[in-house]
Structure 1
Amino acid sequence: MTVRTTALFAALALAALPAVAANVDEMRKQQTAQIPTCARPLGTISVLEPEDATNWWTGQQLEAPSKLIKLFVAKSRCFTLVDRGAGMNAAMRERDLASSGELRNRSNIGKGQIKAADYVMVPDLVNANNNASGANIGGLLGGLVGGRAGAAIGGLNLKSKTANVVLTVTDVRSSEQVAMAEGNAKKTDLGWSGNGVLFGSSGLGGLGAGGYANTEVGQVITLAYLQAYNDVVSQLGGLPANASAANATQAVTVAKPARLFSDPAGKGKVVRSLDVGMMLYPTGEKQGAMWQVEDEFGNKGWVSSMLLQMSH
């Protein structure tokens, strides 16, 4: 191969780089515009609105963003969804009827049946203020959302149809924020979103997404939240299969005077006496009725679970 031929191939390769990069970017954008699917649920989750949220969606005739996220969850099968909204309120009314004796016999409704949420997901705008009727919903939330997301500016611009959103996921047992992802979208992104698949009758349009599927601003907001949801699923891929077992065991309270022993037989050295009302923290180790626990000072030993009750 001559030097001239080699130079020609090199020039052609360099010229093709922008096209290759554009194709890779196009593929990445198309992937983030698709609802991810999971082989197994990552845990049980509830979706709530932020407490200090401005109802910006009502002026655009949109449903609350929590309903949009619930559609993502249901379609992706990445979480088991539990209702903590209207459905939960209705369920509690049924339980009130059961406890008052108004329901038929053998209705099988009562305590201990509600599935616990492992995580809570909250959809929000990165920036929000009380000017929900304006063209731009701004106002930095640096004190609420830290890091890269807190430094972003934009939120939702209705005139230029851009959206800057954030999803946060909190572990309900530890209160740790286990994931936070930002999503950004603009009107020009609608070209690569695969409208027919995502917003058509076989996608969100057929699932009751309303204005999120039928309006440009709704579609832009959907793409932003979907980008964040994809990121959240990626972040949470390494979560334990059993969130309850992976967290610290619920604290217990001494119900009757007891002693903390150095061994599970309950016949060894007494580490200390335990007064009624004292709070202890099980380590998860058990032998029969004996539980290994720690007190608030780090003393570890064994005590009979018959002398304990769950702390409230």
Structure 2
Amino acid sequence: MRKTLFTLAAVLFVTSLAACSNMQLMGGGKSPDSTAVAGSNAPTADSMHHCSTPLGTLAVYEDQRSPWYQLLTSQYQLPSTVPVLKLLVQQSNCFVIVDRGNALDTAIGERALGAAGEIRATSRIKKGRMVAADYTMTPSITFSSQNAGSLGGVLSMIPVVGNYAAQVAGQINTKSASTTLTLVDNRSTVQVAAATGSARNMDIGALGSIMSTHTGGTIAGYADTPEGKVIVAAFTDSLNNLVDSLKQYKTQHVKGGLGNGGRLKVD
């Protein structure tokens, strides 16, 4: 009877750890795990802040030479953040996205075919139809990970379930990420706005490696990685903060005009 109770306690403990695996935005919401948007038809998501009308056209630029990008793609094995940001931005309805990546290369190829006379004349693919990007958004990420190994040392002293609980707790990591989004006016190259965001979760993927020996399953092999979910949540937080700041935007003025010498004089 006592062994049964301890076994039940172990199961409840593991279940409670699993409950801690929910990703949290520092602002209190959750990221949209899956969604779709088309044109101005952007479904409402509880965690997203929205604009009643778009503020202009937007291109997303990702510095793939930066250290954070190397960490993102090598250590965490995650792809470019550009598709994620495009989805979030279009869902917010604050900007109309213009592509400056692979889709642009395809569009240029279509124009080349048109110029060579290989496309029907009624296709209307010609020069002068491409939409300019009014603004460019640039992301950056800072990663953080904290191990809960000290908790495992305490739990190991619990009779019967201690060693098992310690194995689980010792492999729990608190994942967190801080993100920054900057918005630049393409015509003047003036930075219009910048916003930070953050999110965290509890990664208990190691729990799967312990249980898989009994179930034959691979609980740890989840398709959506905890790092990926945290990054999406942090970018959602950043975008929300950016949207809120843009709603209060006022034009910046410098006496004498921007770029005309400034007001801090030197001899």
TM-score norm. by structure 2 comes to 0.55
Distance 1:212 1:77 in 2: 31
Deviation for aligned residue 1:160:
3.6
Deviation for aligned residue 1:186:
1.8
Q: Is the 8 A contact 1:49 1:122 kept in 2?
A: yes
List runs of 5+ in structure 1 lacking aligned partners: 1-25, 128-133, 137-157, 190-210, 244-295, 297-312
Q: Is the 8 A contact 1:165 1:183 kept in 2?
A: yes
Q: Is the 8 A contact 1:167 1:182 kept in 2?
A: yes
- Superimposed CA distance per residue, residues 122-145 of structure 1 (whole angstroms, 9 cap, x where no aligned partner): 111258xxxxxx979xxxxxxxxx
Counterparts in 2 of 1:224 and 1:135: CA distance versus 1, 3 Å:
closer
Match of 2:133 among 111, 117, 124: 117
Partner of 2:192: 178
Q: CA RMSD in A?
A: 3.5
Deviation for aligned residue 1:99:
1.5
Give secondary structure in 2 for the equivalent of 1:180.
strand
Counterparts in 2 of 1:171 and 1:91: CA distance versus 1, 3 Å:
same
Give secondary structure in 2 for the equivalent of 1:232.
helix
Q: Is the 8 A contact 1:212 1:218 kept in 2?
A: no
Partner of 2:113: 97
Give secondary structure in 1 for the equivalent of 2:123.
coil
Partner of 1:162: 176
Runs of 4+ in 1 over 3 A off after TM superposition: none
Distance 2:107 2:126 in 1: 10
Match of 1:73 among 82, 89, 97: 89
Greater shift in the superposed pair: 27-36 or 63-72: 27-36
Q: Is residue 2:227 matched to residue 1:217? A: yes
- Superimposed CA distance per residue, residues 226-276 of structure 1 (whole angstroms, 9 cap, x where no aligned partner): 111111111222569xx9xxxxxxxxxxxxxxxxxxxxxxxxxxxxxxxxx
List runs of 5+ in structure 2 lacking aligned partners: 1-24, 32-45, 147-171, 204-220, 252-259, 261-267
| Greater RCO (Cα-Cα under 8 Å, separation 6 or more) | 2
Greater shift in the superposed pair: 48-57 or 229-238: 48-57
Match of 2:102 among 60, 72, 86: 86
Counterparts in 2 of 1:116 and 1:34: CA distance versus 1, 3 Å:
same
Higher percent of residues as strand: 1
Distance 2:84 2:102 in 1: 16
Size of the alignment, in residue pairs?
169
- Structure having the higher Rg: 1
TM-score norm. by structure 1 comes to 0.48
Q: Is the 8 A contact 1:42 1:236 kept in 2?
A: no
Deviation for aligned residue 1:63:
2.7
Deviation for aligned residue 1:51:
4.8
